[in-house]
């Protein structure tokens, strides 16, 4: 009987096992219809049924995630593109407004002239500049569209959008009519005559800057741009030409200026994506496939050094600079391009690195580099060098370049041994200015190298910037003649060098040098080119 029960159970177990197997297979392709409603397949049923690629739910989720990320990136890129277009439009608008400001006629500041006549100064003055292109409704009431110069009040308005500029000036207490002041501790200075003609040529903001530099006015600047530091910084660099606080020798200023020129297209300018190589005495350095042998260091300028060396039997000078702006290369290239004797000038090349640059000067055939003080110190030799120096500065000024730091250590003598054919050239242009690119430099007070001359009274703050080079010529030649630093003194004839002052000179050479220093140190109101040309002609006739 037990056997019969077992026989009856076997078919039933077999049937149950088959049913479970079928249910298991059904669970792999979809939801189980009976007893498997809570189980999910690991694969997509639709893809399996149509014979496509088998993707798990995790793979499908990852695919959807990637698609969503791709859409987000595209939307972000679109927003950034729109923002870039918006910023470009704003930049163009700012450039247009800046051109409008520069193109406006300069106006005399009547308040300054009135205060100088009466001996009293107003407590505060404020300037506004209005945009001629704005509608009449945007202008302050009572202002004519084109007022005459004589009818203009002290306030000039400019409203480029919401960007008004307000200068608040607090004047110090003026001396009374007896000349007494509340502060008797100031050091004695040379008396300086006010230059009324120059003042009339200055705009109100320029005149305020000049007065502030001479009399120590405290100036407070307020502008809505302060809310946006980046916009304020941009305006600081492109503000009025009288903004003497902007250093024309600042590397960032020069970098922006060179972006406007074609210096980067020169085949002699090379960029290397590596740090500045070590340059040492009695060693060699490889630049652009050439091996330069370094002999000695001739100048140590702190942020730069100048080395003397050789390549392929030619004399070279290498200036190794920690600044990566190729300003020296630009200035010397400008000089050479505008020189009538370009073939006799050295070749120049520049190598830009990540953290600096190396400028290389190579002599023409049969020429040598020597320092100005290394050669024969005789008066005849100094005469030849002085003629070459006058010729150099004349060429600089004729192509609107200033060196602004002439000194024997920063000059080299490129010579063949034939008198009157040698050249004096700068090997460092750190203080130089390109007046074509830097048209806002209009007076010596904007040149850092001229501040000592201004403090001595040798130069007026509003003197033309070219005069700083004339003083540099006098200092250089005085050092070559006497091996002593020039001490400027003022006598009945004006400024001169102390060692050549007085009327007791009888020797024609000594008289010549006395005239030489007087001409260079009293050139106010004269063209620098005419002064240099006249002195060159006089020296050439004396040392022919």
User: For the segment 348-399, what is each residue's pLDDT rounded down to a tens digit?
Assistant: 999 999 999 999 999 998 889 999 888 777 888 899 999 999 999 999 999 9
Mean pLDDT of the chain: 74
pTM over 0.75: no
172-181, 239-248, 399-408, range with the lowest pLDDT = 172-181
- Helices 508-521 and 528-542 cross at an angle (nearest 10°) of 170
Asked if the model's pLDDT at residue 516 lies above 90, the reply is yes
Higher pLDDT, 203 or 72: 72
To the nearest 5 percent, what fractions of the chain are helix, strand and coil? Answer: 45, 15, 40
User: For the segment 418-430, what is each residue's pLDDT rounded down to a tens digit?
Assistant: 766 789 999 999 9
190-194, 344-348, 493-497, 507-511, range with the lowest pLDDT = 190-194
Asked if the model's pLDDT at residue 409 lies above 80, the reply is yes
Give the span between the Cα atoms of 239 and 334, in whole angstroms.
26
Report residue 51's pLDDT band, with 50, 70 and 90 as the boundaries: low
3-state secondary structure of 248: coil
Give the span between the Cα atoms of 189 and 206, in whole angstroms.
24
Question: Tell me, what's the pLDDT at 245?
Answer: 63
109-123, 325-339, 401-415, range with the lowest pLDDT = 109-123
User: For the segment 130-159, what is each residue's pLDDT rounded down to a tens digit?
Assistant: 444 444 444 444 444 444 444 444 444 444
71-80, 86-95, 106-115, 477-486, range with the lowest pLDDT = 106-115
Of residues 110, 208, 214, the one with CA closest to residue 153 = 110
List C-alpha distances in Å: 528 to 13, 438, 513, 524, 525.
Answer: 120, 19, 18, 9, 9
27-36, 256-265, 435-444, 487-496, range with the lowest pLDDT = 27-36
Structure tokens belonging to residue 34 = 């009976």
Per DSSP, 156 falls in state -
User: For the segment 458-481, what is each residue's pLDDT rounded down to a tens digit?
Assistant: 999 999 999 999 999 999 999 999
Of residues 520, 512, 535, 533, the one with CA closest to residue 473 = 520
Give Cβ neighbours of residue 388 (< 8 Å, ≥ 6 apart).
413, 422, 423, 424
Max CA pair span of the chain: 160
User: For the segment 266-275, what is each residue's pLDDT rounded down to a tens digit?
Assistant: 999 999 999 9
Give Cβ neighbours of residue 224 (< 8 Å, ≥ 6 apart).
162, 163, 164
Higher pLDDT, 494 or 222: 494
Question: Tell me, what's the pLDDT at 324?
Answer: 93
Asked if the model's pLDDT at residue 221 lies above 50, the reply is no
Mean pLDDT confidence for 110-124:
46
Report residue 99's pLDDT band, with 50, 70 and 90 as the boundaries: confident
User: For the segment 498-515, what is each residue's pLDDT rounded down to a tens digit?
Assistant: 988 876 655 677 889 999
Give Cβ neighbours of residue 113 (< 8 Å, ≥ 6 apart).
199
Report residue 48's pLDDT band, with 50, 70 and 90 as the boundaries: low
Higher pLDDT, 485 or 10: 485
Give Cβ neighbours of residue 152 (< 8 Å, ≥ 6 apart).
107, 110
Per DSSP, 192 falls in state -
Question: Tell me, what's the pLDDT at 103?
Answer: 74
Query: Quick one: what percent of the chain has pLDDT higher than 90?
Result: 43
Strands, E assignment, 302-371 = 304-311, 314-321, 347-353, 356-362, 368-371
Give the span between the Cα atoms of 98 and 513, in whole angstroms.
48
10 Å CB burial of residue 524 (0-12, 13-18, 19+) is middle
Number of residues in the chain? 544
Token look-up 């695919």 returns: 63
Mean pLDDT confidence for 333-362:
93
């Amino acid at each position: 009987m037990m056997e019969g029960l077992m026989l009856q159970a076997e078919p039933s177990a077999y049937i149950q096992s088959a049913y479970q197997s079928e249910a298991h297979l059904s669970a792999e392709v979809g939801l189980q219809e009976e007893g498997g409603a809570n189980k999910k397949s690991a694969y997509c049923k639709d893809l399996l049924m149509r014979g496509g690629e088998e993707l798990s739910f995790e793979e499908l989720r990852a695919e959807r995630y990637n698609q969503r990320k791709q859409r987000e990136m595209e939307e972000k890129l679109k927003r950034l593109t729109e923002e870039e277009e918006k910023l470009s439009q704003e930049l163009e608008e700012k450039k247009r407004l800046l051109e409008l400001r520069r193109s406006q006629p300069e106006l005399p500041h009547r308040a300054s002239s009135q205060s100088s006549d009466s001996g009293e100064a107003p407590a505060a003055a404020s300037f506004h500049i209005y945009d001629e292109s704005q509608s009449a409704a945007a202008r302050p009431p009572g202002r004519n569209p084109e007022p005459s110069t004589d009818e203009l009040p002290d306030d000039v308005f400019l409203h480029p959008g919401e960007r008004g500029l307000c200068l608040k000036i607090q004047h110090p207490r003026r001396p009374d009519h007896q000349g007494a002041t509340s502060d008797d501790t100031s050091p004695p200075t040379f008396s300086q005559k006010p230059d009324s003609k120059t003042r009339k040529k200055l705009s109100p903001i320029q005149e305020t800057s000049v007065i502030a530099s001479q009399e120590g006015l405290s100036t407070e600047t307020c502008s809505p741009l302060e809310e946006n530091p980046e916009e304020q910084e941009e305006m600081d660099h492109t503000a009025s030409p009288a903004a003497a606080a902007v250093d024309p020798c600042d590397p960032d200023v020069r970098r922006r200026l060179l972006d406007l020129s074609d210096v980067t297209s020169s085949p002699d300018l090379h960029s290397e994506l590596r740090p500045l190589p070590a340059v040492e005495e009695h060693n060699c350095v490889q630049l652009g496939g050439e091996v330069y042998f370094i002999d000695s260091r001739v100048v140590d300028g702190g942020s730069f050094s100048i080395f003397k060396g050789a390549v392929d039997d030619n004399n070279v000078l290498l200036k190794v600079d920690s600044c990566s702006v190729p300003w020296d290369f630009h200035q010397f290239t400008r000089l050479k391009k505008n020189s009538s004797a370009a073939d006799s000038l050295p070749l120049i090349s520049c190598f830009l690195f990540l953290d600096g640059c190396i400028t290389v000067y190579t002599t023409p055939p049969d020429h040598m580099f020597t320092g100005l003080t290394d050669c024969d110190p005789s008066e005849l030799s100094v005469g030849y060098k002085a003629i070459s120096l006058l010729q150099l500065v004349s060429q600089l000024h004729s192509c609107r370049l200033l060196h602004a730091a002439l000194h024997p250590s920063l000059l080299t003598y490129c010579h063949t041994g034939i008198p009157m054919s040698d050249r004096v050239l700068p090997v460092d242009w750190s203080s130089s200015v390109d007046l074509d690119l830097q048209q806002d430099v209009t007076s010596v007070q904007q040149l850092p190298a001229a501040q000592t001359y201004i403090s001595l009274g040798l130069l007026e703050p509003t003197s033309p910037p070219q005069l700083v080079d004339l003083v540099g010529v006098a200092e250089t030649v005085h050092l070559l003649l006497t091996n002593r630093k020039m001490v400027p003194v003022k006598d009945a004839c004006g400024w001169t060098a102390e060692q050549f002052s007085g009327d007791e000179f009888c020797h024609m050479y000594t008289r010549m040098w006395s005239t030489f220093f007087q001409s260079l140190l009293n050139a106010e109101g004269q063209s620098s080119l005419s002064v240099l040309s006249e002195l060159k002609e006089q020296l050439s006739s004396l040392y022919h």
